[in-house]
Every structure is written in structure tokens, then in C-alpha cells.
Amino acid sequence: MNPKYPVQLVPPDIAAYRKGNTGIDYVTTFDSGRPGPHVMVCAVTHGNELCGAIVVDFLFREQVRPTAGKLTLAFNNYRAFLTFDPRYPGLSRYVDEDFNRLWSPEVLDSARDSDELRRAREMRPFIETVDLLLDLHSMQTKAPALMLAGPLEKGRLLAAAVGVPEYVVSDVGHAAGKRMRDYGAFGDPASDKNALLVECGQHWEKASADVAMQTTLRFLKHCGTVDPGFLDAHIAGDPPPQKFITVTGPITIKHDEFHFVQEFDGMEVIPKAGTVIAHDGDEPIRTPYDDCVLIMPSRRMAAGQTAVRLGRFTHR
């Protein structure tokens, strides 16, 4: 039990969604029979992130169906999620490795094997049929929610069309491997296919489920394939204007002795260029420019992993 982040959310019972109708466990597609995009909302890419599971369960229970195109609801790393134990809430992130670092042909086609690679290979041909993807995530620390829109203009435009959350981060991902949101056509500027990854707040805080819900409803509304009456009945509030941040690079850990100079939660703005924010072995890590934004500092400090990403405010 982590007293700093009590588990306020209850993971839903998802057993009823195992069989689905796609031949892939925990992947269900509803087909309107009419032309339109294939829209997908997915949860538990990381098994310890509860907000997405709560929202996907809600969409199932409300029997949300597309009026055009197809709607897929999925629980990605369900095997990790099913091991979630509120006494040890951090332990269910994955079975063998991070599911969201495997999404390049080099890794998927490699001879390597793991529980997550088997799941990614099982889902890969299906993911290639998706036109618009929303992948629901949460964060280790209590920081403002943010949309990870990817490196392309089309991702930023989609994030702007969804309109929430307030912070939109444009980034290329992690040195440790590619994310599902960047896979194949999602990462091709010439393709109309598009994907978003939203970080809804701290993994177990109640507010993260509200952020995931509002982001999903507004995403579905933008996609235009679900009855807007249902969506409008559940969409709340008037969101503030969005702020766009471009990640200039990840700080990838080189040595096993890495520590920040203070505890950062994320979205802190460091005013002066050259400020030391961490030490990687003997090497000081300095901010490269004024008003540097710290994005998603990690608590998992191992060589090769991302410690934090640095960003600057931009116009969209």
C-alpha cells in the first residue's frame, strides 16, 4: 500500500468481456453495417491503470453502439490487469514486459518471446484495421492529465478536435521501444488513420476515471459514429483552452544511479536554462532552455528507461 496514492478506484469485473466476437479474447467489435471509420477505445495497455477499464466497462454496460462504421472496445493487457491487487497496486503493470514498447515490425517480427509479445502479435492484424484509436492510460504521480498526441500534425489536430484534456503533448515516445499509438499507419503522415494516448491522472485516484470518461465521450463525439444524444447526456462542463507542448527529447537513464534533485510530479516548469534537475551517475542533467516543462517523471529508475521528458510550450 502506498500511503501517498491510496487506491480510490475499484477495478471492474471484466470476465463477461473475455469471449468477445473477434476471435481475440477481450476484443469486441460492434458493426453498424453502415460505412464509416473503425473506431477503437482500449484500456489496460498497462495492467495497473484502472481508469480505462472503468470507462470501457461503462461503454459495454450502456450498450453503446455505432450508428456508422465500427466500434471496438478492448482490454489490451488483460492478463496483467487480472492480477491487480489493491494491496500491491503497482505490481500488475505487465506480466513480462511493457506492452506499449513492442510496436515496431523489428520487435513484433523478432524471434523474441514474452507474454506481452504474444498478446501484441495476436492483436497486430486487428490493430491494422483500426482507423481512429484512443488508448486510455494513467500516471505514476498526481499530475495534470495530458494527451500524448504523437509527433505528427494529424495527432495534434485530433487532440484539438477532442478538446480535452487541457495539456496536449507532442512526442516521439521512448528509446525503450515503440508504442501502439505510433504503430504502422498511425505514425504515417500520409495516412488518415490516427491515434491518441491519454494520461488521465494518477493511476488510482478517483478523478482519473472522470478524465478518462470525458475524454472518451468527446473522442467518440468527434468520430461521429455514436449517437450524439447519448454522448451529450454524459459530457460535462466547459473545458479550458488547451495548451500545446512539444517534447524536445527524453532523458534516457544511462547509469543505475539516477536520482532527481527533488521530487517532481510532472508538469513543473523550470524557468532558467541550465538548471540541474537530476544526476545520472556523476553526470548532472540540466534543462536545455528556459521554461522547460517536466513531463511524466518516472519512479522506475533503470538504465535504458525514460526518466523524464522535457518539453516547451508551442503553438499547436
C-beta of 137 vs 154, nearer to Zn ion: 137
Measured from each CB, the residue nearest to Zn ion is 137
Mark the segment that binds Zn ion (CB under 5 A) among 43-51, 167-175, 210-218, 295-303.
Answer: 43-51
- Give the DSSP H/E element, type plus range, for residue 245: strand 243-252
Name the minimum Å distance from CB 46 to Zn ion: 4
Write down the residue that cell numbers 500524448 correspond to.
148
Contacts of 238 (CB under 8 A, 6+ apart): none
Near Zn ion by CB under 5 A, which window of 20-28, 42-50, 215-223, 280-288? 42-50
Give every CB contact of residue 211 below 8 A, 6+ residues apart in sequence: 51, 145, 164, 165, 198, 200, 201
Residue for cell digits 471496438? 72
Residue 195 amino acid letter = A
- Least Å distance, CB 165 to Zn ion, is 15
Element counts in the chain: helices (H) and strands (E)? 7, 14
Residue 179 touching Zn ion (CB under 5 A):
no
DSSP 202: E
- Any contact of residue 70 with Zn ion (CB under 5 A)? no
Window 241 to 300, contacts with Zn ion (CB under 5 A): none
Residue type, 230: F
| 313 close to 293: Cβ distance less than 8 angstroms | yes
137 binds Zn ion (CB under 5 A): yes
> Cβ of residue 52: shortest distance to Zn ion, in angstroms?
9
Supply the minimum distance, in Å, between the C-beta of residue 15 and Zn ion. 22
Query: Should residue 178 be labelled a site residue for Zn ion when binding is judged by CB under 5 A?
Result: no
> Which residues, listed in sequence order, are joined to residue 177 by a DSSP beta bridge?
174
Contact between 46 and Zn ion per CB under 5 A: yes
**Binding residue count for Zn ion, defined by CB under 5 A:** 3
Interacting residues with Zn ion (CB under 5 A): 46, 49, 137
